[in-house]
Amino acid sequence: MATFTLLVDGQVLDHELLAQLQTVEAEEHLQMADMLRLVFNIAVKEDGSGWRVLDDAVFSPLTHLQLQITVGNNDPVTVIDAYVVETQTAFTNNPGESTLTVTAMDAGVLMSRREVVRTWAGMSDSDIAGTIFNDYGLSSEVETTDVTYEEDNTLIVQRGTDMQFLQLLAQRHGFDVYIDVDPASGSLTGHFGPVRLDGEPQGLLTIHMGQSSNLNFLNVRWDMLRPTAVQVDNIDFDSGENQTGSAGSSDLTLLGGEDLFKSTTPRMSRVLPSGAAIDAELLSIAQGLCNRSSLAVVAEGEVDTRNFGAVLRAKRTVTVRGAGELYSGIYLVERVLHAFIEGEYTQSFTLRRNALAPRRQDDFTPEEE
């Protein structure tokens, strides 16, 4: 059995409001902001003084929300820490059909409220990312970048919000930028770096294995037309000469026994970047694009939570078995949609990987066995 706890500004949601909550949806995503959506049933109060829930003014702009999910006897897992960014009210003449939908976005919204013009001199992209996270009181997990921009040579100018700027810097390295929430403590960490593929898989997703199965379905797609090599071209500001950076393979951890890039006909992508000033930047851009292109196997499915017995998290790895020699193995969890609808908990997901077949060291044994 799965249950949830919704915290509003640090306090558990009032019991009367909880009784009106019809739908809870929390989406974790590697490439986009994590989002929370709540749908409440609303009705005119018995004394006619206003609308229940709507006129209680609980969900004002940037109200702080946290969603914790508990499966079975496991500890609660905080899946999202978010701030209210929108409400939508649907009024009808039919009793019981009017609703209030509350939408909240992860802490990245706090970094997206103010556009600024700011110069950054004598700092690398990773230094800049660490500074911005610190400005918001966030601890950070930042991958060091090699290039430092000297003021007499290159001046980095920020024009936009802090989150927009971080995303721009991340694109230059093929990095991801997001705010991660610790499942146990609920503390927040700013992430600026490549996808995390080296961690211990968080569980075992099983399809077509009788009573051992814990997936309702699994659909796998292999995009065979993705580029396997990238060349980035530019013109040197000072000399006017051509600059080139290229990458012919991914340097990410291989998630399976057979590299996807070696399983398909080579295909080259050529890119004309904007804002790249030196060769090292071009190489970084090319490698980042090549890395992202390598995650060409995509799996989508739905967890049978009763049999899985846990909360699946995005931005981490998971093991899949029962999908044949080709598609069984370790995957990166790109997206998870957690939904409570009429008390029923579902987990829909999107996975990615850069390889085929399992590795020799992959463990397909469930913990209880």
Per residue in 52-76, pLDDT tens? 899 988 999 999 999 999 999 999 9
Greatest Cα pair distance, the chain, in angstroms, is 78
- Residue 369: what pLDDT? 45
- Residue 1: what pLDDT? 86
Look at strands 123-124 and 139-142 and give their pairing.
unpaired
Instruction: Kindly state the average pLDDT of the residues 261-266.
Output: 74
Domains, the chain, with CATH or none = 2-106 (no CATH), 112-193 (3.55.50), 196-369 (no CATH)
Of the candidates 366, 267, 257, 338, the residue with the CA atom closest to the CA atom of residue 70: 338
Q: pTM here?
A: 0.92
Residue 339: strand pairing partners: 25, 346
CB 207 within 8 A of CB 213: yes
Of 188-202, 270-284, 354-368, least confident by mean pLDDT is 270-284
Instruction: Kindly state the average pLDDT of the residues 235-257.
Output: 82
Q: What are the φ and ψ backbone dihedral angles of 78, each rounded to 5 degrees? A: -80, 115
Name 23's Cβ contacts closer than 8 Å, sequence gap at least 6. 37, 38, 39, 339, 340, 341
- Residue 273: what pLDDT? 65
354 pLDDT more than 80: yes
- Average pLDDT over the chain reads 91
* Cα(201)–Cα(180) distance, integer angstroms: 17
* Cα(104)–Cα(82) distance, integer angstroms: 6
17 pLDDT more than 50: yes
Instruction: Kindly state the average pLDDT of the residues 228-251.
Output: 79
The half-sphere exposure of 280 on its side-chain side, counting CA atoms within 13 A, is 7
307 pLDDT more than 60: yes
CB 174 within 8 A of CB 287: yes
Per residue in 114-149, pLDDT tens? 999 999 988 899 999 999 999 999 999 999 988 776
Quote the tokens at residue 171: 């694109």
CB count, 10 Å around CB of 24?
A: 18
Quote the tokens at residue 95: 């009793």
Instruction: Kindly state the average pLDDT of the residues 299-319.
Output: 97
87 pLDDT more than 90: yes
